[in-house]
Amino acid sequence: MELHIVILAAGQGTRMKSRRPKVLQDLAGRPLLAHVLDTAAALDPARIHVVYGHGGDQVRAAFAERPVSWVEQAEQKGTGHAVDVAMPQIPDGATVLVLYGDVPLIGASTLRELLQAAAQGLAILTVELDDPSGYGRILRDPEGAVRGIVEQKDASAEQLAIREANTGILAAPAAQLRGWLEGLDNDNAQGEYYLTDCVAASVAQGRAVAAAQAADEDEILGVNDRLQLAGLERIYQRRQASALLREGLGLADPARLDIRGRLRHGRDCHIDVNVVIEGEVVLGDGVRVGPNCVLRDVVIGDDSRIEAFSHLDGATLAGDCQVGPYARLRPGTELAARAKVGNFVETKKAQVGEGSKINHLSYVGDAVLGADVNVGAGTITCNYDGANKHLTQIDDGAFIGSNSALVAPVHIGAQATIAAGSTVTRDAPAEALTVARSRQKSISGWRRPTKSKG
C-alpha cells in the first residue's frame, strides 16, 4: 500500500508577530517546515502534500525545489477541513499520514511505528505528559481501547485530568479517512472541523483505533510563539551535541554549540564554546576550534587549529594549518599544508601555498601564493578596479614587506622582496628587491599650522 503524507502548514501564526508564516520561522538555521519535509522524505512516500494558506506565496517560493504537491486551504476551517482539501489528490488504496509543519522534531522511527499500527485501520500517536494543557485528551474504555478524543476547550473537569494527550498525528487508510472527513461537523467550541473527530467516527462504525505512543515528548512539541521556538532550538541543539559527543567529538560545553547544518569530524577533535556550524563542515583528525568561531561550508584538514573569533566561509584547509584569532576566510580560500592566516586577516578567493604566512592585518583577495611566501602586516591586494576583479600572483619564497599595496594584475617573482610601504603596480622580478615608494626627505624650519585666534 503506497504512502501519501499530508503536512498541514496553513496556519498564520499570529503569536509569532512576524511578517513570515509560522512554518518559515527558523529552527537551527532552517525553516520549521524544512525539518518536517526531511522527516517525511525519509519515509519514502509516494507523494508529499503540503496544505498551505497564510503567506502561501512565501511558503511555496521557499520550497520551490522540493518535489511536493501544493494544496491551498483558502479558508482555515480546522484540521479536518485542511486534510479534506488534500484528499482529492490521494487514491483510495493509499495510507495517509498526517503531519504538522510546526512540529519539527518528530522522528522517522516513531512515525514508522505509527504506520505499522495503521495497517488495519486508523492509528493515532499519543504521548504521556505531566502537564497536558492545550492538548486534546485520549478517551479510553475500561478495557483500555481508544474511544475518542476530546479537545481541551470541550473537556470536562474529569477529562482534563487525563494525562494521555493527542499529538494530532495520525495515519489511516485513505478510503476510510475520506468517509470520516465527509461526515465531520463543526458543532464545537471552536466552530471548526476537527480531524480528531475521525476517532469517534471509526469507533461508531465498530472499527478499532490503534494508538502508538511517542517515547520522547520533545518529538511532538509544536510552535506557537517565539518562546516555544527558542525552547525547541535548545532541545534540537542538545540532541545534536549529545549525538556528536557519543561519536567522539570533544566539546568544551555541549550547551554552547549551535549546529545549523551538518558536521562531520575525525578523531580527537575539540570545539570550544559558542561555536556556530552552518552548511556542510568537515573536520579532519585532531582539529581544534577555539571559542566564538563561525564555520560555514568548510573542510579543515588534520591537526589544523582555528583560533578564537574566526569566521570561515567556503574555505578549504589542508593539514596543520593555523587560522586566527580574528581571521576571516571568505569563499574560495584554499590553504595548503602548514599555511597560516593570522589575526585580523581577510582572504577571498585566495590560494595560499604550503608553509606560507599572512600573519597580521592584511587583505588578500583574488590571489595565488606559492610556497613559503611571507606577507607582512598591513598588506593588501588591490584586486578591484571599480568594474572587474584582477589576479595577484606571488611565487615561492617571496617576501612582501609591511604596508604594501599590490595593484592587480601583478606578478611577484620567486624569492622576490617587496620593500615595506611599496605600492607595486608592475611585475616584480624574481630574486630582486623592489622598492615602490617616494624618497624620504626632511624639511628644516617647517612649522605646523596653528589655529587663528579670531
Which residues have a catalytic role annotated? 360
Distances (CA, A) of 13 to 47, 124, 154: 26, 25, 22
The runs of H, that is alpha helices, within 302-377 are: none
User: Minimal CA–CA distance to 118: which of 31, 207, 216, 35?
Assistant: 207
Q: Could you please report the per-residue DSSP string of 32-100?
A: HHHHHHHHHHHT--SEEEEEE-TTHHHHHHHTTTS--EEEE-SS---HHHHHHHHGGGS-TTSEEEEEE
Cβ contacts of 367-372, under 8 Å, gap ≥ 24: 367/391, 367/392, 367/393, 367/394, 367/408, 368/392, 368/393, 368/394, 369/394, 370/394, 370/395, 370/396, 370/397, 370/398, 370/414, 371/336, 371/396, 371/397, 372/396, 372/397
Distance CA(25)–CA(54), nearest Å, equals 13
Phi, psi of 245 (to 5 degrees): -65, -40
Cell match 608553509: residue? 355
In this structure, the number of other CB atoms found within 10 A of the CB of residue 451 comes to 5
Per-residue exposure over 426-448, b if at least 16 CB sit within 10 Å of its own CB, e if not: eebeeeeebebeeeeeeeeeeee
